[in-house]
């Protein structure tokens, strides 16, 4: 049997075998990478960590049980506003550098207070606004947990 007749009869099987080996190899590599990402996420998911949720909300973890993933995680999305989400709703842990600065939007005046705010210079309005740092949030959450106990 010469080479041409061999490949004409069995060449398709070799191509299928090569494709099968490639699929198995790429699947194993992808699964390994996903497992590493999940382990990294599990170690970084601790109270006080900033997270991005599946819905696009940024927040700070207040309570999370890595042993029981069916138990909802508690995430603070604004000072004093804590929501419960499924643990799989946490998309990823974010750093302060990854959070893009908010773009200032123009608002249409809806009531008298909004009208007053529209005429107040931005510098005076910004004095009342204060954003907590990650360390301040952790310290506040620890104080609140101590107050509960």
- Token pair of 46, please? 């601790």
For 61, residues 6+ apart whose C-beta sits below 8 A from its C-beta are 45, 46, 47, 48, 49, 51, 73, 74, 75, 76, 90
For 81-111, the pLDDT digits (tens) are 999 999 888 888 887 665 555 545 554 544 5
Q: How far apart are CA 86 and CA 69, in angstroms?
A: 8
Q: What pLDDT, on the 0 to 100 scale, is given for residue 133?
A: 83
Q: What pLDDT, on the 0 to 100 scale, is given for residue 65?
A: 85
Quick check: 28 pLDDT over 80?
Answer: yes
- How far is CA 44 from its chain centroid? 11
Q: Are the beta carbons of 77 and 57 closer than 8 angstroms?
A: yes
pTM above threshold 0.85: no
Q: What pLDDT, on the 0 to 100 scale, is given for residue 35?
A: 92
For 128-148, the pLDDT digits (tens) are 667 778 888 888 888 988 887
For 58, residues 6+ apart whose C-beta sits below 8 A from its C-beta are 50, 51, 52, 77, 94, 99
Q: What pLDDT, on the 0 to 100 scale, is given for residue 109?
A: 47
- How far is CA 97 from its chain centroid? 14
For 69, residues 6+ apart whose C-beta sits below 8 A from its C-beta are 87, 88
For 115-127, the pLDDT digits (tens) are 555 556 655 655 6
Number of Cβ within 10 Å of residue 123's Cβ equals 7
């Amino acid at each position: 049997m010469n080479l041409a007749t061999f490949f004409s009869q069995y060449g398709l099987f070799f191509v299928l075998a090569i494709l099968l080996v490639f699929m198995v190899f790429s699947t194993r590599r992808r699964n390994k990478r996903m497992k590493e990402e999940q382990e990294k996420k599990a170690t970084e998911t601790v109270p006080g960590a900033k997270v991005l949720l599946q819905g696009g909300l940024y927040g700070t973890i207040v309570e999370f049980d890595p042993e029981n993933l069916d138990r909802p995680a508690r995430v603070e999305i604004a000072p004093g506003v804590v929501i419960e989400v499924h643990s799989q709703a946490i998309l990823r842990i974010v750093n302060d550098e990854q959070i893009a600065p908010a773009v200032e939007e123009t608002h249409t005046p809806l009531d008298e207070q909004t009208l007053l705010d529209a005429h107040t210079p931005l510098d005076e309005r910004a004095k009342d606004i204060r954003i907590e740092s990650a360390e301040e949030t952790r310290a506040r959450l620890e104080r609140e947990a101590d107050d509960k106990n």
